[in-house]
Chain A
Amino acid sequence: MNVQRIQAIFEKDMKDFMKNTMMFFTPLLPVILAVFYSRLGEGEEMPLMMIYLIVGVTYSAVTSGTMMMLMAEENEKKTLRGLMLSPASFLDIIIGKSLAATLLTVVSLVVSLLIMGIAPLLNAQAIMGLVLLFFFFLFLGIGIGLFVKTVGITTAYLMPIMFLFGFTPMVTFLGFAEDSLTMKIAGAFPLPQLIEMDETHSWLSIGVVALWMLAAALFAFICFKKVKQNE
């Protein structure tokens, strides 16, 4: 691992991002949604579920989405080969890109939460949960980004991630009975766990989210190994 090379890749990705119209609008999506939600029921306290929904959208669209697109574009435009033939290691490349995805996520999330009301998330337990959740989505993005060959195909992978993990709390609006299997399964997903944690202050939820994060890290590691084997 080499800090200078990681920084070079990070700066290149940030410059490229500023000129990429499609990617440039991705971090704006949660901000626009936050503005929209904050206008609903003006004067009333923002429901916690809506705040976490914005977190879910930010992490799925910006963290996972950006990471996937950054990797896929390098594959599609055949620029990854140039990086791989340089002294930069595969890990340098992934970390450089992860830093770009992290910066965009932080900016997008902070702006969105400032609009929605950041106060409910300003406690150690919530922050820890948000950090674990961020890494869950980042590892998911890295894993998929490693084998996706074109930017177009990233959409096919991004949609299920957004609906399954980014919009999980919305399942409550689908009319399932509270004790149905669907609701129980959805409740074990990371985002509902964080909402539950906020209500119960249980550390068990943090544990569940940590398990999700470890599973995503394992998935990214398996994808990384597979790509290295195929080289």
Chain B
Amino acid sequence: MENSIEVNGLRKTFGHKSAIKDVSFAVKQGEIFGLLGPSGAGKTTMIKLLTGELVKTAGEIQVQGMPPSKFQTAAFKAQIGILSDNSALYERLTVYDNLKLFCRLYNEPVSRIDEMLIQVNMQEEKKKIVAKLSKGMKQRILLAKALIHRPKLVFLDEPTSALDPGNTAQIHRVLQTLNEAGTTIFLNTHDMEEATVLCDRVAFLHHGSLQELDTPENLRYRYSTHAFHVETFSGNKLVIENNEGGAEEIAKLMKHGCIKSMHTDNPTLGQIFLKVTGKELV
């Protein structure tokens, strides 16, 4: 099985409103795939369709080689892990009791709890009541919960929204380690930095339609003007074309030791999204 997720001509409507419009894509085993789009673009609907929380209107879906008819089986659920900004813990119970419940539901030994707490750097909070933890700590416990059964495919829906940079970096580290171990990650985000740092490939979702799909590097190259931005010591900011004339101009500046800084004109994913859809990625 080369692809972890295969989607062909997927459509989802709620009444007369189309949430997903004829979307096709595939996610390879072991890659981090980012679905980028503003709030309301259909990202959460996509995850719900891929995890069996919603039923498709039309099209084909295969996740871990299984069709939607198998999405409610224990065999399917054991292969996937989900973390969304809507996930929740039992606030009156301790971190340990929360994770113990899911260990038992997934038939994992309770020794797995300590492994997961080390992974998310929360060993010291093991006996603490969840209600007393910060939002960032809760999110890390939710991540531990989502990964406790060693899923082969993890769905993350805005996993770091409203988190401080420290907690965000911690979650990114866990995800990178997880991916290095071969886990496929499907990441919904509107955070372009997060997508750039984590994703092997990204797709833009806008009003339920897929607009672009490629690696962040390829997209940035494709939407680049290929010009160079040069700042001289005299304070001049120049945009120099990437051609023979530009090369001569840069050579001249270098010869006279005038260049303070020089960089290519690669746009950010946010700028590309704006260019493609005419809408800010927020």
Report the nearest A residue to B145, measured CB to CB.
A82
Evaluate whether A81 and B87 lie within 8 angstroms (CB atoms) in the complex, with A5-B105, A12-B97, A86-B106 already known. Answer: yes
**Interface presence of A180 (CB below 8 A):** no
For chain B residues 93-112, which have a beta carbon within 8 Å of chain A?
A: 93, 97, 101-102, 104-107
Report the nearest B residue to A5, measured CB to CB.
B105
Evaluate whether A85 and B86 lie within 8 angstroms (CB atoms) in the complex, with A5-B105, A19-B93 already known. Answer: no
C-alpha spacing A227/B164, complex, angstroms: 37
What are the 4 tightest A-B residue pairs by CB atom distance, in nearest-first order?
A: A87-B74, A8-B104, A19-B92, A78-B88
Name the one of B87, B101, B107 contacting A12, with C-beta atoms under 8 angstroms: B101
B contact residues around A5 at 8 Å (CB): 104-105
Q: Are the CB atoms of A87 and B89 closer together than 8 Å?
A: no
12 contacts between A and B (CB under 8 A): A8-B101, A9-B105, A12-B93, A15-B93, A16-B90, A16-B92, A79-B88, A82-B87, A82-B145, A85-B53, A86-B105, A87-B74
Q: Are the CB atoms of A88 and B86 closer together than 8 Å?
A: no
Report the nearest A residue to B55, measured CB to CB.
A231
Report the nearest B residue to A80, measured CB to CB.
B88
Name the one of B77, B90, B93, B104 contacting A85, with C-beta atoms under 8 angstroms: B77
C-alpha spacing A85/B88, complex, angstroms: 12
- Write the A70-93 contact mask toward B (1 if CB under 8 angstroms, else 0): 000000011101111111100000
Report the nearest A residue to B72, measured CB to CB.
A89
Extra contacts besides A19-B93, A85-B77 (6): CB < 8 Å: A5-B105, A9-B101, A12-B97, A16-B90, A78-B87, A82-B145
B contact residues around A12 at 8 Å (CB): 90, 93, 97, 101
B contact residues around A84 at 8 Å (CB): 53
B contact residues around A2 at 8 Å (CB): 74
A-B Cβ contacts below 8 A, count: 58
Q: A16 → chain B, closest Cβ, in Å?
A: 6
Interface residues in chain A, defined as those with a beta carbon under 8 Å from any beta carbon in chain B:
2, 4-5, 7-9, 12, 15-16, 19-20, 77-79, 81-88, 231
C-alpha spacing A81/B53, complex, angstroms: 9
**Interface presence of B117 (CB below 8 A):** no
Report the nearest A residue to B101, measured CB to CB.
A12
Most chain B CB within 10 A, of A4, A8, A82, A83, is at A82
**Interface presence of B188 (CB below 8 A):** no
Most chain B CB within 10 A, of A8, A19, A20, A87, is at A87
A contact residues around B105 at 8 Å (CB): 5, 8-9, 83, 86-88
B contact residues around A15 at 8 Å (CB): 93, 97
Most chain A CB within 10 A, of B93, B105, B145, is at B105
Report the nearest A residue to B142, measured CB to CB.
A82
**Interface presence of B115 (CB below 8 A):** no
Report the nearest B residue to A92, measured CB to CB.
B105
**Interface presence of B51 (CB below 8 A):** yes
C-alpha spacing A5/B106, complex, angstroms: 8
- Write the B76-87 contact mask toward A (1 if CB under 8 angstroms, else 0): 011000100011
**Interface presence of B249 (CB below 8 A):** no
Report the nearest B residue to A93, measured CB to CB.
B105
Report the nearest A residue to B107, measured CB to CB.
A4
B contact residues around A79 at 8 Å (CB): 88-90
C-alpha spacing A19/B91, complex, angstroms: 10
Q: Are the CB atoms of A78 and B86 closer together than 8 Å?
A: yes
B contact residues around A87 at 8 Å (CB): 74, 77-78, 105-107
